[in-house]
Every structure is written in C-alpha cells, then in structure tokens.
Amino acid sequence: MSLRKQTPSDFLKQIIGRPVVVKLNSGVDYRGVLACLDGYMNIALEQTEEYVNGQLKNKYGDAFIRGNNGRPR
C-alpha cells in the first residue's frame, strides 16, 4: 500500500474490494469484503462474519454498519 500523501477519500476508494476487519466500540468485530463506504463511515460488507470476544457468532451475506459505531469510548 502506498505511503505517499493522499486524501482520506483516495484511501477509501483504494480499499474497496479488500477483505477488512471493522471493529466497533461495542467490542464486536465484523470481517468481510468491503463493498462500499461513505463519508460518514457507513460501511457495507459482503460475506460478513461476526466475532464476539474472538468467537464466531454469525454469518451474513450482506451487512450494513452505521458509521457512528466506530467512535472509541
């Protein structure tokens, strides 16, 4: 991945299509392929797996995560 200066929106376009881990402030992790996201950090994932305390809990075909849930408490 390039380390040159880029705007946040460039970075966001770059990671679309990659497998990612989305960590929420509730402690739940969602692993899946990044389908798209927007400037509010709303996220759409495909082939999503939900991990609670490191344990696989659920699998979803498509998942939408609201952008406010990444804020640390």
Partner 1 sequence: MADDVDQQQTTNTVEEPLDLIRLSLDERIYVKMRNDRELRGRLHAYDQHLNMILGDVEETVTTIEIDEETYEEIYKREEQCCSLQVCSELTADP
Binding-site ranges for partner 1 (CB under 8 A): 9, 13, 16, 26, 35-40, 42-44, 60, 62, 64, 66, 68, 71
Residue 25, Cβ density class (10 Å: 0-12 exposed, 13-18 middle, ≥19 buried):
exposed
Give the start-end residues of each E strand in 1-73: 19-23, 28-37, 43-52, 55-65
**56 vs 66, which CB is nearer to partner 1?**
66
How near is the Cβ of 31 to partner 1 at its closest, in Å? 16
User: For partner 1, which is the closer residue by CB, 6 or 13?
Assistant: 13
